[in-house]
Amino acid sequence: MPRNVYLKMKSLDEARRIVTERLAPLRMLLAESVPVPEAVGRVLAAPVFAAISAPSYHAAAMDGVAVKAETTYGANESHPRELISGSNAFFVNTGNVLPGGTDAVIMIENVQLLDERRIVIEAPAFPWQHVRKIGEDIIATELLFPRYHRITPYCLGALLTGGVVSVPVMKKPRVLIIPTGTELVDWRTTPLTDVRPGQVLETNSFVLGQLVEDCGGNYIRNEMVSDDINRIKSAVEKATGDGCDCVLILGGSSAGAEDYARTVIEDLGEVLVHGVTIMPGKPAVVGVVRETPVFGIPGYPVSAIIVFEQLVRLLLTAFLKQPEPLRERVMVTPTRKIASKLGLEEFVRVKLGDVGGRIVATPLPRGAGSITSITEADGIVRIPADTEGIKENAPVTAELLRPVSELHRTIVIVGSHDNTLDVLADQLRAAQSGLTLSSSHVGSLGGLMAIKRGACHLAGSHLLDTEDGTYNATYIRRYLPGRAIKLVNLVYRDNGLIVPRGNPKAIRGMEDLTRPDVAFINRQAGSGTRILLDYRIRQLGIEPTAIKGYDAEEFTHMSVAVAVVSGSADAGLGIYAAAKALDLDFIPVVTEKYDLVIPAEHFVSDFIQTLLGIITSAEFKRRVEGLGGYSTHRTGEIIDIGAA
């Protein structure tokens, strides 16, 4: 029989592009619902939102005595205050529901017991001291995880605590593995003493099967098939007709006369790649049969692993809408020259060590059949195909095998809170960009300061210039002088008073905040909402001290809404979307402009350009307007501020 000749040999980049562009679109995995405890390792098919707040009640955070804080004011060592258990003081343990009418806990170490009922304290409590308020950890309706997020054991606590007991996940891609070769021996049924020269224990299917599982797939191991083209063809035909998402033919690809992967794929479908310019892994075959990706995997174990990691894993992560895991890289210094064959990109396994402050690399045996060359390796040095090796002491990059971690590509936004950021985070993942949005809520001015320190890529801001009615530009010029800034409008939004459903205290506007029966919840100093409040009450001639609760602060609009829905406040200033999310009433005050403040040096990055593409998309605008209280008529408009 004639030996195989590589007819469609490709570079690794070309082969990977074929996998991404030709094979990945062949499958759109369906969704299924699973109980949360069984969801670890699975990929969410849709965003998941909290069903309940956590805690769902005001809870004691310490063992001690629950009191109403104002009853303790004035207590000190010279003038201790006496309290009566069951009347104005109540013993509680950590986690207990806070008794009605109380809003603080005094630690048991700070109270003196005169008798069974009389208690003495020597220091006052302040409101919400040692109390876990409703929603301190999780707020009902908030985004817990966006779609395509891979669930970890840590996520279970957040999901269950948030009242989520089942989640929609993507079905695992099914991969059939067909080990081929007359020389193979089943180690499970054949005593090792009976293995003859020329026979090989079949292990690759188990190794690659676990790699499939690590990628989030399910593998099915076909029984070993001898070097019979008709039997191999029959196994592939059955697999591609039974709904498998991918087929791996093991040991059926090389220049040998009895390696049939290329012929089988060619007879049943189309060969896209026959040979890849890498070492080890050159004999790889990539094809498609009945709209199912089929790979011919070399029989040598290191070759099989390299081909899997470079091609098959790329496909499976694409099926699951996950970014391909990238290894950490470090600069290393080879301890000796590493020669390489021109025309092949070589994956050299190396041992690494810190010697005199340098990370040095020692090559391991390079045979594709030496499995220990990868199990013992600390890293891999890739030698480009256009070079003949690496010189001694010439710094080179190594991919670390211990430890292995994904490359985290995160866009960091700091500043004012807005509910549309949750939508933006989800859409970013839905775009399969491999990017994640991380947002911190410190108020609009805090966001500008974070930009000044170089601590973020962009900031959310809605700072009102009370002199001319414009937003943000004046503050940017004041706090970021000389900086080239792009001001991008995200939304216009309705800001107003959030009050309980039915507005039981008949609050009509800001002037009612001075009523003694109205408890207010404020936003933190430096937030755009706080600036708006101060501006409005100045217009009305209201002193801050006239508002009960002016000094009580929260850091997000949703936290303000939670304070209202929990009864700890009768009103708070916030956005309509927060009121709607928790089924509260809303009294409009102003429509304000919420912008993204982006330094010019970040604006040109791929990260931000991807983000801007999502912001201006019809889908993002549709979802934002569905939240209520938003307008996207100027979303995406850009204003240049600062240096030319």
Q: Is residue 548 part of a domain?
A: yes
Q: What are the φ and ψ backbone dihedral angles of 306, each rounded to 5 degrees?
A: -60, -45
Which CATH number belongs to the domain containing residue 569 in this structure?
A: 3.40.190.290
Segment among 192-206, 303-317, 363-377 with least mean pLDDT: 363-377
Lowest mean pLDDT among 7-16, 252-261, 485-494, 545-554: 252-261
514 and 602: one domain? yes
Residue 169 pLDDT class (50, 70, 90 cuts):
very high
Q: What is the DSSP letter of 43?
A: B
Per cent of the chain over pLDDT 90 is 64
Asked if pLDDT for residue 109 goes beyond 50, the answer is yes
Write down the H helix ranges in 248-360.
Answer: 261-268, 301-307, 313-319
Indicate whether 626 belongs to any domain. Answer: yes
Per-residue pLDDT, averaged over 410-418, amounts to 83
Domain termination site, one of 346, 374, 400: 400
Instruction: Assess whether pLDDT exceeds 60 at residue 16.
Output: yes
Residues 620 and 595 in one domain: yes
Backbone angles phi, psi at 597, to 5 degrees: -100, 115
Same domain, 182 and 229: yes
522 and 604 fall within a common domain: yes
Query: Which phi and psi (to 5°) does residue 250 adopt?
Result: -90, 130
Q: How many CB atoms lie within 10 A of CB 115?
A: 7
* Residue finishing a domain among 319, 342, 370: 319
Q: pLDDT per residue over 17-38, tens digit each?
A: 999 999 999 999 999 999 999 9
Q: Strand 64-67 and strand 104-107: pairing?
A: antiparallel
Both 68 and 19 in one domain: the answer is no
Residue 358 has pLDDT above 80, yes or no: no
Looking at per-residue pLDDT, the higher value among 411 and 448 belongs to 448
Same domain assignment for residues 433 and 488: yes
pLDDT 10s digits, 210-229: 999 999 999 999 888 888 88
pLDDT of residue 557 exceeding 50, the answer is yes
- CA dist 59 and 98 (Å) reads 5
Instruction: Name beta bridge partners: 83.
Output: 119
Could you give the count of Cα atoms lying within 13 Å of 379 in the half-sphere of its Cβ? 23
Give the type of residue at 305.
I
Domain extent for 381: 329-400
pLDDT at 254 over 60: no
Q: What phi-psi label fits residue 276: left (phi over 0), alpha (psi between -120 and 50 degrees) or beta?
A: beta
Residues 197 and 299 in one domain: yes
Q: Single out the residue of 549, 305, 301, 558 nearest to residue 421, CA to CA.
A: 558
Nearest to 475, CA basis, from 442, 446, 439: 446
Query: What pLDDT is attached to residue 523?
Result: 92
| Residue 324 is assigned to a structural domain of this protein | no
**Furthest-apart CA atoms within the chain: distance in Å:** 104
Beta strands 174-179 and 218-221 are parallel
Q: pLDDT value at position 29?
A: 93
For 529, the 3-state DSSP assignment is: helix
Whether 336 has a pLDDT exceeding 80, the answer reads no
- List CB contacts of 60: < 8 A, sequence separation 6 or more: 66, 92, 93, 94, 95, 96, 97, 98, 105, 130, 131, 132
pLDDT band at 182; cut points 50, 70, 90: confident
Average pLDDT over residues 255-279: 84
Mean pLDDT, rounded, of the chain: 89
Same domain, residue pair 476 and 551 = yes
pLDDT digits (tens, 9 = 90+) for 54-94: 999 999 999 999 999 999 999 999 999 999 999 999 999 99
Q: What is the pLDDT of residues 287-324, one digit of tens each?
A: 999 999 999 999 888 899 999 999 999 999 999 999 99
Give a yes or no: residue 405 inside a domain: no
Whole-model pTM: value is 0.76
Do β-strands 184-185 and 200-201 pair in parallel, antiparallel, or remain unpaired? parallel
Phi-psi region of 162 (alpha: psi -120 to 50; beta: other; left: phi over 0): alpha
Q: Which of 558, 493, 473 is nearest to 523 (CA)?
A: 558
pLDDT at residue 408, as a whole number: 37
The answer to whether position 1 is within a domain reads: no
Domain CATH for 359 = 2.40.340.10
Tell me: pLDDT of 387 over 50.
yes
Q: For the chain, how many structural domains are there in total?
A: 5
Whether residues 350 and 296 share a domain: the answer is no
Check residue 361 and give its pLDDT: 76
Is residue 100 domain-shared with residue 151, that is, in the same domain?
A: no
Residue 460 resides in a domain:
yes
**Shared domain check, 46 and 81:** no
CATH classification at residue 104? 2.170.190.11
Assess if residue 151 is contained within a domain.
yes
At 394, list the tokens.
Answer: 């010439």
183-214: b (≥16 Cβ within 10 Å) or e: ebbeeeeeeeeeeeeeeeebebbebbbebbee
Between the two ends of the chain, the Cα-to-Cα distance in Å is 72
How high is the pLDDT of residue 203? 87
Domain finish residue from 152, 168, 184: 168
Residue 256 reports pLDDT greater than 70? no
Residue 148 maps to which CATH number?
Answer: 3.90.105.10
pLDDT at 112 > cutoff 70: yes
- Asked whether residue 234 is assigned to any structural domain, the reply reads yes
Q: Which residues contact 599 (CB under 8 A, 6 or more apart)?
A: 451, 457, 458, 483, 484, 485, 486
> How many whole angstroms separate alpha carbon 208 and alpha carbon 214?
10
Shared domain for 575 and 593, answered yes or no, is: yes
Whole-angstrom distance, CA of residue 436 vs CA of residue 439 = 10
Question: What pLDDT was estimated at residue 409?
Answer: 65
- Alpha carbon distance 505, 235 (integer Å): 74
Per-residue model confidence (pLDDT) at position 36: 97
